[in-house]
């Protein structure tokens, strides 16, 4: 069933002239040094005031900074606020 959902999403992407591999891919938007929005994340791995780790498919996204906290979180979106100093993609 999961395979059918992915196939349907890829067909929809092609119909919208989007690359099929972009379906379900993590999308990160950083606003200034104070807000990060991650769409299509795979869940929160670790959280501290200095570091947040987020699952992104086969990778992990590590956000470093000060006073980091979760502004909002849903299955589709994660918002991290605070002073963002670094962003790393880890295997």
24/62: higher pLDDT = 62
Q: Is 2 among the domain residues?
A: no
3/53: higher pLDDT = 53
Q: Is 5 among the domain residues?
A: no
- Residue recorded with tokens 């690359």: 19
Domain that holds residue 37: 24-90
Taking the C-alpha atoms of residue 65 and residue 58, their distance in angstroms, rounded to an integer, is 23
| pLDDT higher than 80, residue 3 | no
Residue 90's pLDDT band, with cuts at 50, 70 and 90, is very high
Q: Is 76 among the domain residues?
A: yes
CATH code of the domain covering residue 75: 2.60.40.2000
Q: Is 8 among the domain residues?
A: no
Domains held by the chain: number: 1
Q: Is 10 among the domain residues?
A: no
The answer to whether the CB of 22 falls within 8 A of the CB of 9 is no
Residue 9's pLDDT band, with cuts at 50, 70 and 90, is low
Taking the C-alpha atoms of residue 39 and residue 75, their distance in angstroms, rounded to an integer, is 9
31-79 residue pLDDT tens? 999 999 999 899 999 999 999 999 988 889 999 999 999 999 998 899 9
């Amino acid at each position: 069933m999961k395979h059918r959902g992915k196939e349907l999403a890829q067909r929809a992407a092609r119909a919208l002239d989007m690359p099929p591999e972009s379906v379900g891919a993590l999308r990160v938007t950083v606003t200034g040094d104070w807000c990060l929005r991650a769409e299509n994340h795979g869940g929160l791995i670790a959280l501290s005031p200095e570091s947040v780790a987020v699952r992104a498919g086969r990778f992990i996204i590590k956000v470093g900074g000060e006073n980091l906290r979760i502004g909002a979180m849903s299955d589709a979106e994660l918002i991290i606020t605070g002073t963002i100093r670094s962003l790393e993609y880890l295997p």
